[in-house]
Structure 1
Amino acid sequence: MVLELLEDIEKIKNQDGKSIMLPASDKNIQSIKKWTSKNVRENLWIKEYENLLKKVDGLEFNGLVIYNAQPNDKNNGFIGANEIWRDREWDNNYLFFGDSSISWYCMDIDKDVFLELDKPSGDVIQEYNGFEEMINEALKSVL
């Protein structure tokens, strides 16, 4: 389902002469995996996120941002965004994968559950059965 939604977004972006289907480099994926093990929890990695990055290195579309694997991107990069969002005490148990103007898309690392949080209150809006379900809903919300 994620791939179909990405293809729908790709068709829209192609109308403007742009493409979203540019994969992250293996080097950048390894960098964010190392950062996650060092700064969040050892051996914590979401294979579905890696699979997404191998198709599209982040996404900015209709207000939705899915973080990319570029280690030096302080705004929309996975590392940069997590360094910002995890800086406060209330949200340091979350690993963030994306955001919109009203939501954060993340994983509660203590409960191993994927969530949509209200921005800025941090209240849980929706709980998901996995990463792919969370990203599906995020993508559908902007199409």
Structure 2
Amino acid sequence: MIEKLINEIAKIEAKYDEILPAPATLEELEILKNWATDLFGNDVPIEVYSQFLNNVNSLQHNGIFLYGVNTQNANLDIIENNKIWHDMTEHKKYLFFGDDDISWYVWDSVVNEFQLLDKPSGEIMETFESCNSMIIEALEKVLD
């Protein structure tokens, strides 16, 4: 399903002579895994996000930013964005996967849950059964 949605976005981007990033390399995925494990321990569900990165190493479309690894654009780099969001102590429990104008897509390491957070308040707007369901909803949102 994720691949199908990414392909739909790629077709839209192609109309404007834009190309989506290539998939993350094995080296980039290893960098991400090591970084996330150092930050959150062995239980971090970074492998499930790697499924998205195996299709495209970040995505920016219609106001959404889904982060990648070692991207040319710092606004799309998962490590750089997490450093910024972790400046606030209450955000250190989250692994940030992406954001849009009003929300963050995160994994809460304390409750082991994928969530959509309201940016201004940090309140939980929605929870997801998996990383894939979170990514699918984000992609469907920008295609509406």
TM over 0.5: yes
Partner of 2:4: 4
Shift of 1:35: 0.9
Amino acid at match of 2:139: L
Q: Show CA shifts across 1:103-125 (max 9, x none).
A: 10000111111000001210000
The one-letter amino acid paired with 1:58 is S
Identical aligned pairs, as a percentage?
Answer: 34
User: Residues of 1 paired with 2:127 and 2:103: CA distance?
Assistant: 13
- 18-27 or 69-78, which moves further after superposition? 69-78
Q: Would the aligned equivalents of 1:31 and 1:71 in 2 still touch at CA under 8 Å? A: no
> Do the aligned partners of 1:64 and 1:98 also contact (CA within 8 Å) in 2?
yes
Distance 2:19 2:70 in 1: 17
CA distance in 2, matches of 1:97, 1:16: 26
* Equivalent position SS for 2:114: strand
Within 5 Å, which residues of 2 pair with 1:1-143? Answer: 1-20=1-20, 22-70=22-70, 74-143=74-143
Moved more, 10-19 or 71-80: 71-80
Tell me the number of residue pairs that the alignment of Structure 1 and Structure 2 aligns: 143
Query: 2:68, 2:106 → 1: CA distance?
Result: 14
CA distance in 2, matches of 1:29, 1:97: 14
Alpha-carbon separation, structure 2, partners of 1:104 and 1:3: 22
Superposed CA offset, 1:31-67 (max 9, x none): 1111111122235232221111111000000110000
Question: Runs of 5+ in structure 2 lacking a partner?
Answer: none
CA RMSD after TM alignment: 1.6
Q: CA deviation at 1:71?
A: 6.7
8 A Cα contact 1:73 1:80, kept in partner: no
1:75 counterpart SS class: helix
Mean alpha-carbon deviation: is it higher for 72-81 or for 25-34? 72-81
Q: TM-score, normalised by structure 2?
A: 0.92
Residues 33 and 47 of structure 2 are in contact (CA less than 8 Å); yes or no, is this contact kept in structure 1? no
TM-score, normalised via structure 1 length:
0.92
Unaligned runs of 5+ in 1: none
Give the SS at the match of 2:55: coil
Aligned counterparts of 1:45 and 1:127: Cα–Cα separation in 2:
15
Q: Hey, what's the Cα distance between the residues in 1 that align with 2:40 and 2:73?
A: 19
